Amino acid sequence: MAFHEKEVPANASRGQKLMAWVDSRFPLTATIEGHLTKYYAPKNFNFWYFFGSLAILVLAIQIITGIFLVMHYKPDAEKAFQSVEYIMREVPWGWLVRYLHSTGASMFFVVVYLHMFRGMIYGSYRKPRELVWIFGCAIFLCLMAEAFMGYLLPWGQMSYWGAQVIVNLFAAIPLVGPDLSLWIRGDYVVGDATLNRFFSFHVIAVPLVLIGLVAAHIIALHEVGSNNPDGVEIKENLDANGVPVDGIPFHPYYSVHDLLGVGVFLMVFAFVVFFAPEMGGYFLEHNNFIPADPLKTPPHIAPVWYFTPFYSMLRAVTSEFLIPMWLFAAVLLGKVIRGTTDKKLQGICAGILVALGAGFFLFDAKFWGVIVMGGSVVIFFFLPWLDNSPVKSIRYRPQGQKYIYGVFVVTFVILGYLGIQPPSPIGEKVSQLGTLIYFGFFLAMPWWSKMGQFKPVPSRVNFVAH
């Protein structure tokens, strides 16, 4: 194919000529138009749509501050803790960079949790955005791995023993578990080899995957178009030029609009960094200011707050809890069997039920705790196929479904709180109930999502200028 230089008028400015030269060799203008100036987004976005751009902002903060931290950090079991202290005390503005990074880790999860919740209440995982949602869930998994590996690097007491507990969980997997946990650690205990490989993954491997997933997430989103609070597809109502009548260019309208969210977020972010970087021990645990000591176990080991809902579900699974879990599964699978005439599906459900019953006797509670903790994250991937509601947005769903979402959020917060607290008999029972509610929300969704009186969905978005 012959190369063709892009033509420009004879009186074109130097800037226009330069852009034409670039566009002949790289689709810069086409990319800007496709993702910004000619990407039409619904005109009824509300504050919930700030969190997508805020997630990109925090990712940039984490990458930039991480680069400066790596300049002075030593991934060595003998020097790691001292190098962090050196950054805090001796490196000019090192304390600020470290607090920006540590606060950014927690704020990343705050933003991502709110971004995911917005997707849930407005049905942003529904057709045709299933792949957008799957990429988003993969980003969430990747972010959890990045945070876990980065949490070990300060080499404090909670970093060391938290990693010891989590890595040992993999040993509960039948057959391959012990070898897998040994491979992850690189040694028989968490030590220098573990620190080095976690550092490598945290600094190089996982960020590369994370950036790739973010790019795929945005590309997939711009291919099908953004959802909106009404759940109306704006591409179904076009003007004579093929432009959505209810859409506006993302730039400059939403790029400027998002500056409001960025401004408010940065004020909150700066307040935490300068006045409460430890956030009472939730962002930076007090035990992590003590050097790691393999001979002294802290009285209570708990992960950082953003992992605690899932950690709480892990601890909730005891030998006594396996029976209620099996009954819970039996009720759901029994409902599927009774609700279908497909003999093959009925056989599969019956087989799963028998396999679960046998598994509860063959494997201990620790193994099932790991399965529950992993399943509590992986189940998000299946949300597009669990929701059978005839409408997308919560605005047009029955009032009862709004209460179900409310109970789910409250349960998630309670599980997070219990995961921070030391184990107790009452806390264990509440965690077990919360675990059943959490999984019940998803597994019973095929039924409750289509129950009740739904409101009619408008053909065009509802928009009030503000």
Annotated binding residues for heme b: 101, 115, 202, 217
* Four-way CATH pick for 29-282+292-297: 3.40.710.10, 1.20.810.10, 3.40.50.2000, 1.10.357.10: 1.20.810.10
DSSP string, 179-233: HHHHHHHSSSSSSHHHHHHHHHIIIIIHHHHHHHHHHHHHHHHHHH----TT---
Residue 117 has pLDDT above 70, yes or no: yes
User: Which pLDDT does position 23 carry in this prediction?
Assistant: 86
Torsion of Cα atoms, 391 then 394 then 399 then 400, to 10°: 80
At 308, the pLDDT band (50, 70, 90 cuts) reads very high
Half-sphere exposure of 316 toward its Cβ, with a 13 Å CA cutoff? 31
Residue 359 has pLDDT above 70, yes or no: yes
Q: With CA atoms as reference, report the closest residue to 421 among 434, 409, 437.
A: 434
Residue 398 φ/ψ, nearest 5 degrees: -60, 155
User: Which pLDDT does position 465 carry in this prediction?
Assistant: 67
Annotated binding residues for a ubiquinone: 222
Tell me the C-alpha distance between 152 and 201, whole Å: 12
Residue spans of the domains in the chain: they are 29-282+292-297, 302-319+364-457
pLDDT in tens, 416-432: 999 999 999 999 999 99
Contact 369, 317 (CB under 8 A): yes
SS3 of 149, please? helix
Annotated binding residues: 101, 115, 202, 217, 222
The mean predicted confidence, pLDDT, of the chain is 91
User: Which pLDDT does position 238 carry in this prediction?
Assistant: 85
At 336, the pLDDT band (50, 70, 90 cuts) reads confident
Contact 398, 451 (CB under 8 A): yes
Cα–Cα distance list, 286 to 118, 152, 282, 298, 371 (Å): 33, 15, 9, 11, 30
117: its two tokens: 């919740």
pLDDT in tens, 376-423: 999 999 999 999 999 999 999 999 999 999 999 999 999 999 999 999
User: Which pLDDT does position 2 carry in this prediction?
Assistant: 67
User: Which pLDDT does position 83 carry in this prediction?
Assistant: 96
Residue 35 has pLDDT above 80, yes or no: yes
pLDDT in tens, 228-275: 999 999 888 888 888 888 899 999 989 999 999 999 999 999 999 999
Residue 169 has pLDDT above 90, yes or no: no
Tell me the C-alpha distance between 268 and 399, whole Å: 33
User: What is the per-residue burial (b if ≥16 Cβ within 10 Å, else e) of 383-411?
Assistant: bbebbebebbbbbbbbeebeebeeebeeb
Q: Is the dihedral of CA 439, 440, 446, 448 positive or negative?
A: negative
Residue 176 has pLDDT above 90, yes or no: no
Q: Model pTM?
A: 0.93
Cα–Cα distance list, 73 to 68, 87, 97, 176, 392 (Å): 9, 8, 12, 34, 47
Residue 309 has pLDDT above 70, yes or no: yes
